[in-house]
Chain A
Amino acid sequence: MGCRFAQAVTDAPAIRIRGRYDIAGHRLFDGVDLELLAGQWTCLLGRSGVGKTTLLRLIAGLDSGEAFEGNIWVSDDNPLDGRISYMAQSDLLLPWLTVLENVVLGIRLRKEKPDMRRAMDLIGQVGLGGYRDEKPNALSGGMRQRTALARTLMEERPIALLDEPFSALDASTRADMQDLAARKLKGKTVLIVTHDPAEAVRLGHQIAVLTSHGLRLWQTPSSAPVRDQHAPETAIFQAELLSFLRGLR
Chain B
Amino acid sequence: MNKISYLAGVTAFGLTVWQGTVWIAGVPHFILPSPRRVAQVGWENRVLIGENALVTGFEVAMGLVLGVLLGAVTAVQLARSDRLYRLVMPLLVFTQAVPVFALAPILTLWLGYGMASKVMMAILIIYFPVTSAFYDGLTRVPQDVTDMARTMNGTNWQVMWRIRIPHALPSLATGLKLAAVYAPLGAVIGEWVGASRGLGYLMLLANGRAKTDLMFARLVVLAIMTIGLHLAVKRAALRMQWE
Partners in one complex: yes
Grouping DSSP codes into helix (H, G, I), strand (E, B) and loop, the B interface class, with mixed when no group exceeds half, is helix
Report how many residues on chain B are interfacial, defined by Cβ distance under 8 Å.
20
In the assembled complex, B82 has its CB within 8 A of some CB on chain A:
no
| In the complex, B73 has a CB within 8 A of chain A | no
Contact of A88 among B148, B166, B169 (CB under 8 A): B148
Task: Please tell me if B11 contacts chain A, counting CB pairs below 8 Å.
Answer: no
A200 within 8 A of B: no
Asked if B158 contacts A111 (CB within 8 A), the reply is yes
Asked whether, in the complex, the Cβ of B151 is within 8 Å of the Cβ of A109, the reply is: no
Chain B residues closer than 8 Å to A62, beta-carbon distance: 147, 150-151
- Bitwise, B132-164 to A at CB < 8 A (1) or not (0) is 000000000000110111111111001100110
- Bound: A111/B149 CA distance, A: 12
User: Which residues on A sit within 8 Å (CB–CB) of B162?
Assistant: 94, 105, 108-109
B151 touches A85 (CB 8 A): yes
Chain A contact residue count (CB 8 A cutoff)? 22
**Known contacts A95-B242, A96-B166, A96-B242: A109-B147 contact under CB 8 Å:** no
Complex: how many Å from CA A85 to CA B149?
11
Chain A 99-122: CB-based contact to B (< 8 A → 1; otherwise 0) = 000000110111100000000000
Interface string of A62-82 (1 = CB under 8 A from B): 100000000000000000011
Q: Does A92 interact with chain B (Cβ within 8 Å)?
A: yes
Q: Complex: how many Å from CA A57 to CA B166?
A: 26
B146's closest neighbor in chain A, by CB?
A62
Given contacts A94-B166, A95-B243, A96-B166, contact A109 B145 (CB under 8 A): no
Report if A60 contacts B (CB, 8 A): yes
Taking a contact as CB atoms under 8 Å apart, the answer to whether A155 and B152 are in contact is yes
Q: Do B155 and A92 have beta carbons less than 8 Å apart?
A: no
- A96 to B162, alpha carbons, bound, how many Å? 10
A84 interface hit (Cβ, 8 Å)? yes
Cβ–Cβ contact A81 & B153, under 8 A: yes
Question: Does A41 lie at the interface of the complex (its beta carbon under 8 Å from any beta carbon of B)?
Answer: no
CA distance in complex: A31, B147 (Å): 27
Q: Contact: B144 with A88, CB < 8 Å? A: yes
Verify if A223 is at the interface (C-beta below 8 Å from B).
no
Q: B145 contacts which of A94, A110, A155 (Cβ < 8 Å)?
A: A94
A237 an interface residue at 8 Å Cβ cutoff?
no
A111 to B162, CA, bound (A): 11
Q: By the criterion CB–CB under 8 Å, are A60 and B151 in contact?
A: yes
Q: Are B153 and A94 in contact (CB under 8 A)?
A: no
Across-interface contacts of A88 in B (CB, < 8 A):
144, 147-148
Complexed CA–CA distance, A111 and B169 (Å): 22
Shortest CB-to-CB span from A225 to chain B, Å, is 25
Nearest neighbor of A101 in chain B, beta-carbon distance: B162
Residues of chain A within 8 A (CB-CB) of B155 are: 109-111
- The reply on A21 being an interface residue by CB < 8 A is no
B residues in contact with A105, CB < 8 Å: 152, 162
Query: Which positions in B face A, CB cutoff 8 Å?
Result: 144-145, 147-155, 158-159, 162-163, 166-167, 169, 242-243
